[in-house]
Chain A
Amino acid sequence: MKKLLNLLPLAFFAGLVVTLFFLLGKDNAELKSVMIEKNFPSFSLSTLENPNVYIDQTSIKKLPALINVWATWCIACRVEHPFLMELKDKSIISIYGLNYKERDNGDKARKHLSRIGNPYEFSFFDPKGKLAIDLGVYGAPETFFIDKNGLIKIRHVGPLTADIWEEKFSALLKK
């Protein structure tokens, strides 16, 4: 028993090494969303395309759909843009944009889309980030998958790539 106790500090150290080995490598930058399996939150915003057109949660008609949080100031959004265009061009899924916290009246974002192409059915114009808070968004880009019943199924943080699409999203689309 005494000998066993002498080994205790070593055992403790080994335990520490093992825990830290597994915990430190883990990427906790991506937070688990609490919105999963919930309905899309209700909102009332104008579209980016036309400030006089007001939309709400019922305006997301083409389901299943992606809701993509983007902004002109967001560099990573440009990284995923070609892939979003590909999804649109191949009619794989309809995408709605959540234009997040532009610092002007939307002119810059409108110009940006007309220059590089618009993958969205339309974009919700959310300069104050109101809807973004209701969704639990903490940065851009983020992408939500809404299933055919209007439930949020996936929240992906960071640029959407073909690999991530295959890994996380495409299986849901087949259901």
Chain B
Amino acid sequence: MKAFFIYLSIFIFCNSISGDNFKERYYFDDPVDQQRFVNLLEDLRCPKCQSSNLSGSNAPIAQDLKLEVYNLIVEGKSDKEITEFLTSRYGNYILYKPPLEVNTLILWMGPFVFLLLILAILFYLRSSSRTRFKNSKDLR
């Protein structure tokens, strides 16, 4: 238990030193907009650093895009308009959640196909071992 709290505090500490504490530098009149800003930056990928979202990146381009998202929110653009603005320039790459399209079908459907496949195999193995069990009983 003690170890757990030590881990927890390390985790919280690391979180507070990593990334960019951008939230303080962008002021919104409306807390709803503030929340939208935070959510958008969580779901947008930094094009330069590739494995980090905009909120966690300090790359110059990430800073520019944060400012751009801020300005778009202040201008009254909807979340959809903002993501369209960004994908029309940077492509779907910038979205952490890719849209359902023909070329992303495998991403969305793959896990379910795998699940079905595994279930089918398990089912097959179970039924075949059961018949074998039955057969061995019959022999006795």
Contact = CB atoms under 8 A, between A and B. Distances in A.
Contacts of A135: 89
Nearest to A139: B48
A139 B91 contact: no
A128 interface: yes
A8 B125 CA distance: 12
Contact of A31 (B60, B68, B93, B128): B93
Interface stretch (A32-40, A43-51, A60-68, A116-124): A32-40
A34 B87 contact: yes
A130 to B, nearest CB: 9
Interface residues of B, number: 18
Interface in A1-38: 2, 5, 8, 28-29, 31-35
B89 A29 contact: no
Interface residues of A, number: 21
A137 B88 CA distance: 12
Which applies to chain A's interface (DSSP): helix, strand, loop or mixed?
loop
A34 B124 contact: no
A133 interface: yes
Interface in A63-90: none
Contact of B125 (A5, A29, A32, A128): A5
Contacts of B50: 28-29
B68 A133 contact: yes
B128 A129 contact: no
Nearest to A34: B91
B88 A5 contact: no
B61 A35 contact: no
Contacts of A29: 50
Interface in B27-63: 47-48, 50, 60-61
Given A136-B89, A138-B61, 16 more contacts: A5-B121, A5-B125, A28-B50, A32-B91, A32-B93, A33-B91, A34-B89, A34-B90, A129-B61, A129-B64, A132-B64, A133-B68, A133-B89, A135-B89, A136-B90, A139-B48
